[in-house]
Amino acid sequence: MTDHPATTTKLKNLHVITWGCQMNVYDSARMEDVLRPLGYRPVSQVEHADMVILNTCHIRERATEKVFSELGLLKKIREDRLAQGHDRMVIAVAGCVAQAEGAEIIHRAPYVDIVFGPQTYHRLPEMVARAARAGGHVIETDFPVDMKFDFLPAEAAPQTPENLSAFLTIQEGCDKFCSFCVVPYTRGAESSRNVASILTEARQMARNGVRELTLLGQNVNAYHGLDAQGATADLPQLVRALSRIEGIARIRYTTSHPRDVTQSLIDAHRDEAALMPFLHLPVQSGSDRVLKAMNRGHTADEYRDIIRRFRAARPDLSISSDFIVGHPGETDADFEATLALIRDVGFAQAYTFKYSPRPGTPASAADFQVDEAVKDARLQIVQKLIRAQQDAFNGALVGRDVAVLLTHKGRKPGQVVGRSPYQQPVIIDAPEHMIGRIVTVRILHTLTNSLAGELIRETICA
């Protein structure tokens, strides 16, 4: 545990605005944890905040511009608060845009107090103290060798008792350098948290009522963390250890890379009951030419073969992916190859993106950028195909009984919502006190992005 600098007993309000992936959601909760000993407690309204952190994401288009426009709003809120006699609001920018833009943020928005990258938030208390002392800017965007996780407060259990399904980051960074992607530049090299610290956090979560863990990492199946004996544990070994924790009934992981799929991971889907039958394995394209240009390190047939092996181990596995249309050089024939791969595999869901250039990445400098109108047209086609496959996958569940972990109240009175093993939200009529249980639900019909069902048994089906 870190030694925090002089703490103050005066309570202060903290508001964290989170963009982007689940790893950012996890990081935001950890930022709240590290600032708690300094008297900061989370508030929902930015106008009431003594400190605001913008936890940014760089993966989507125009991320930087969005940050500057949000900062402009925060500046105005700070001025209004000062006019009303409140203390000066501390403004901090975190996450991948902070990492990528660093000093540029202070240059363009000099009223920002703190800029820190994804690897440094465990030093946040010290940064806050430094910013208060110096009245100047603090920029922390290096990649320290020590992993930030090892410095988080031991009691950092973000979960409230109602929070039954929680994220747990086990791995960060990426060495793959896909042509289009900023992650290797913003999140740094692949690194894995050690087994003991993950187990400690998971046990704490389980004590707080968590029943489902989603293990997070940019390349989560590249996980290789040190265990207590000084040996290296891989993802299936970690899953096995986590599944023995009392209270943890379900384990998921995301995002994985085809190159890091091992036979033991596939086998774990057959052998580990706690490992849910859902796999998010991005392929990005079905064309070998494009996959090569993307530097993905595998072919379309290799991907098909990996899926075949997963399905041999776990026939009901639901498969998800990410696709990019319009990568530089993508022809009509390449796009057709993507559609062919989608038809061959049959996805339960997928995220589809139009390629958009990220400054500093090789693809952004490539010749043969695809016309925006062509990208639009391809996106529509691929989305329609994925939609049809998603409807087919969900439709096939109608009439079947599935185990649902009930996690929260539905929008309508009397409704409770949970997730199927395959990841879809399932809505049933049930009393609120059943939240937290895993029950057997018969699926009645499909909704746009979820399933409607009825409670069959208050225990899990065999």
Residues 176/257, Cβ–Cβ less than 8 Å: yes
Residues 276/250, Cβ–Cβ less than 8 Å: yes
Say which entry of ligand 5AD, ligand SF4, none residue 67 contacts (CB below 5 to 8 A, set by partner kind). Answer: none
* Beta carbon nearer to ligand SF4, 218 or 389: 218
Q: In this structure, what DSSP letter does residue 256 have?
A: -
Say which entry of ligand SF4, ligand 5AD, none residue 218 contacts (CB below 5 to 8 A, set by partner kind). Answer: ligand SF4
Say which entry of ligand SF4, ligand 5AD, none residue 170 contacts (CB below 5 to 8 A, set by partner kind). Answer: none
Say which entry of ligand 5AD, ligand SF4, none residue 59 contacts (CB below 5 to 8 A, set by partner kind). Answer: ligand 5AD
Name the residues that contact ligand 5AD, by CB under 6 A: 59, 180-181, 282, 284, 322, 324, 353, 355-356, 358
Q: In this structure, what DSSP letter does residue 269 have?
A: H
Residue with tokens 């793959």: 176
* Beta carbon nearer to ligand 5AD, 381 or 435: 381
By CB under 6 A, residue 324 contacts ligand SF4: no
By CB under 6 A, residue 174 contacts ligand SF4: yes
Q: Is 181 annotated as a binding residue?
A: yes
Among 111, 143, 151, 177, binds ligand SF4 (CB under 6 A): 177
Q: Is 461 annotated as a binding residue?
A: no
The Cα 119–Cα 140 span in angstroms is 9
Cross-strand partners of 28? none
Among 171, 218, 318, 423, binds ligand SF4 (CB under 6 A): 218
By CB under 6 A, residue 220 contacts ligand SF4: no
DSSP per position, 186-219 = HT-S-EE--HHHHHHHHHHHHHTT--EEEEE-TT
By CB under 6 A, residue 63 contacts ligand SF4: no
* Beta carbon nearer to ligand 5AD, 40 or 353: 353
Provide the 10 A C-beta neighbour count for residue 31: 24
How far, in Å, are 243, 302, 327, 384 from residue 219 at the CA level? 21, 18, 21, 28
Residues 343/385, Cβ–Cβ less than 8 Å: yes
Residues 342/386, Cβ–Cβ less than 8 Å: yes
By CB under 6 A, residue 410 contacts ligand SF4: no
Q: In this structure, what DSSP letter does residue 275 have?
A: B
The Cα 119–Cα 358 span in angstroms is 21
Query: What would the x/- binding string for ligand SF4 be over residues 179 to 208, using CB under 6 A?
Result: --x-xx------------------------
What is the enclosing helix (H) or strand (E) of 22?
A: helix 22-35
> Among residue numbers 301 through 320, which ones bind ligand SF4 (CB under 6 A)?
none
Which chain residues interact with ligand SF4 by CB under 6 A? 174, 176-178, 181, 183-184, 218-219, 257
Binding residues: 21, 57, 96, 174, 178, 181
